[in-house]
Structure formats: C-alpha cells, structure tokens
Structure 1
Amino acid sequence: MKFVAFERAKQGTGASRRLRNTGKTPGIVYGGEGQPQLIELDHNALWHALKKEAFHSSILDMELDGKAAKVLLRDVQFHPFKQLVLHIDFQRVDAKTKLHMKVPLHYVNAEESQAVKFEHCVVNHVVAELEVSCLPADLPEFITVDLSGLKKGTSLHLNDITLPKGVAAVTRGKENPVLVSVVATVAEEAPAPAAAAPAAAPAAAKAPAAPKK
C-alpha cells in the first residue's frame, strides 16, 4: 500500500492541536540509517487506510518530499471517543534486517470439517494474529490456516500449520500454543424411555346380591 506524508516543522502539544484542526495528523518515522523525522498526513486518507488490514500488517510505500521509503506501521493513537487519529508512528524497513511483526491469521474451510458438518461442533479461534520473524521481503500480508481437518474433541496447535517460506513464529511462554479449539454444542440424544406398561383395567363392579325369598 502507498501513502503520502509531508515534513512537519513544528512540534509540541499546541502545534499538534493546530495541525489536527486543519485536517492533518501528526506523526513520526524512525529507524534505519536516517534520523527520526516529524511528519504529517491527511487525516481523512489516513482514517480510511487504517480500516484496511494490509495497512497494519504489510510493508508500506511512503512518499515523503518526493522520495519513496519502505515503512511499517508501529503505533497509532486514537481519540477516546471521537473518530480522530491523534498520532501515528512508522518504522523504516531495512531489507537486510529481520523484523518482528504481528500477522493476521485467516481461517478457512471450517464449515467443511467433520467437526462442524457432521458432529455439530463450534470452532473457536483462540488466536487471531501471530507474531513472526522474517526478512521484509518474506513478510506475508496474512497467513491462511485450513480447518477442513478438524474433528470433535481436537484442537489445532501452532505446530500443526505450515508457515510461509522464510517465516518463523515468535512465541512467548508457550512453545506450541493452541490456535483453534473445537467445542461440542449439541449433546447426543438420550434414548427414549420405555413405554410404561398399560395400567390394569379397573375391576368390574359386583352386581348386588339377589334378595332372599
């Protein structure tokens, strides 16, 4: 994805407030061989870009003062209740340096699995994104995970999926975390109770005895 940024001369709370009042968003770009640089972006264009998944998880082409640079979105600050971006940070990308990035997981084919199709189970996505380490050229926009093999009573772990070439998962705490769990929601129907024996017919009423002569 591409976006345009402009050099920002002034900094400070007051300057940033005045900038936002003119429809701009203050930001900064840092890292790589250059010095940190203050920038500003058109707020409306930025707001729409932030709604796209790729803007958060892929390498971006930033045009600044007529020059192109590869950057990653590193932080964004929103207003607590207004539809307003307060500040945004980008990091320059070095083609020869590995980076750490969170990549979305796209789960597919769950409805075709035995667990969902025949065993009336619900698939819970425990992990929505995965932190990875790779060179910038190998960074995927997302990772597709096929769930067609899920069965009742099973879980899908990190070691069960194949990552793209050149990409390694970064785990913290658990080496093989659960990505997806399968939960049964419909209990097996209990057999119908045996029909009760028919009640005994009531005894016929005794006829009154004939009067003695």
Structure 2
Amino acid sequence: MSKKYVLQAQTRELQGKGASRRLRHTGMVPAVIYGAGGEAQSISLRHNEMIRNLQEEAFYSQIITVDFGDRKEQVILRDLQRHPAKPIIMHADLQRISDDQEIRVHVALHFLNEEASKGVKEQGGAVNHSMSEVEVSCLPKNLPEFIEVDMINVEKGQILHLSDLKLPDGVSLPQLALGEDHDNAIAAIH
C-alpha cells in the first residue's frame, strides 16, 4: 500500500517576515495547520525532512502525520511556496483532516501498457496525455496513492475520458458531477 509520512513539528510563537526568515536560517520551514474545525496554528518543520519527502510523488496527495511529541495530527499538504531560484521551501500550508469528512485531493494518473497498446504497437500511433492528475473526493481512509489508466485496448483515434477511469471504492470525481460537458479527455492515441 502507500507509505506512511510523518513530519516532526514544533509550535512557533513568533510570526511575520523577519521571524520566518530567521527560522529558515536555522534549517526549519515556517508552516501553518488549519481546518477541521480547529484553530489555525503556526508551526515549524525540518527543512531536510520536507525536501526528502517532496521527492516522492505520493507525498503531495497522501495523509501526513504531524508529530508534535505529545500529540499527533493528520493533515494533507495544501500549498507549498518555494524560493524562485534556490532549492529552499519558503512556507507550507497543511490542512487538518477528519475521518468522517470527505476531502478533495489531486491524485496522479499512472498510465500502463502504453507501448503495448493496440493503437501504438499495431496501428503506429503515439500516446498523447491531456492530464497527469485528477481531483478526487473521498473519505481519508479511501484516498488512493494514484489511479491507474490501462491503455492496452486503446486504438488509434480513440480518446479516454474521465468517465473511463476505474476508480477505487468510495472515490468519486467531483468534475463528473458537473455534467457531461466536464467529462474531459485524459489521454488519446493519434
């Protein structure tokens, strides 16, 4: 299944531009936790730990445990600000989650059997991806790490849409609830 992500955190009292700058010089990242009926809380995270986790695709869409030492909170990464020229994380926004409330998260699409598909192997086509991720709505326990798109039976000239995705149990696509006009293409073979 998916990897469990844990971030060590400390609460922080000092806020503002200067305090955040001083915090970054000590190897920490200023962040905020909000949502799920709780108060917004300013925290600091270890920069090296964040950089290491951000190298994994699943970190952006999976549940993260923030460990304060005496308590733990379940969150998802909502926003991330990076320095425009240096490999430095400037700030992170984390949203608390509740086990009984649906969340909306962007999940990566993994395309399988592209080179072995009918449209490529037999008909000489090329695969064109229109989307690399989709927004899903589900309870935290049903959150997929990624969604697989099997291209084996796709022929040249055929287009796969959002409605063609095989979603895990308890997972839905909010965009499809908006009507047929929002059933966007995800991939095609031309």
| 2:147 matches 1:143 | yes
* Residues 110 and 123 in structure 1, CA contact (< 8 A), matched pair in contact too: yes
Runs of 4 or more consecutive aligned structure 1 residues displaced over 4 Å after TM superposition: none
Q: Structure 1, residues 151-185: CA drift from partner, whole Å, max 9, x if none?
A: 111111112221111111021683211110111xx
**Equivalent AA in structure 1 for residue 159 of structure 2:** S
Matched with 2:158 is: 154
The 2-side partners of 1:65 and 1:30 are apart by 19
Greater helix content: 2
How much has 1:62 moved relative to structure 2? 1.2
| 2:84 matches 1:108 | no
Aligned counterpart in structure 2 of residue 124 of structure 1, from 119, 128, 151: 128
- The unaligned stretches of length 5 or more in structure 1 are 184-213
Aligned counterpart in structure 2 of residue 177 of structure 1, from 165, 184, 188: 184
**Equivalent AA in structure 1 for residue 38 of structure 2:** G
TM-score by length of 2: 0.92
| 2:47 matches 1:43 | yes
Q: Structure 1, residues 169-209: CA drift from partner, whole Å, max 9, x if none?
A: 021683211110111xxxxxxxxxxxxxxxxxxxxxxxxxx
Q: Structure 1, residues 17-72: CA drift from partner, whole Å, max 9, x if none?
A: 11111111100001123211110011111111111111101111110242111100
Q: Secondary structure in 2 aligned to 1:18? A: helix
| 2:68 matches 1:64 | yes
| Greater Cα shift, 170-179 or 49-58 | 170-179
**Equivalent AA in structure 1 for residue 189 of structure 2:** V
For this pair of structures, how many residues does the alignment match?
A: 183
Q: Secondary structure in 1 aligned to 2:79? A: strand
Note the aligned Cα RMSD (angstroms): 1.2
* Residues 71 and 91 in structure 1, CA contact (< 8 A), matched pair in contact too: yes
Aligned counterpart in structure 1 of residue 86 of structure 2, from 69, 82, 87: 82
- The unaligned stretches of length 5 or more in structure 2 are none
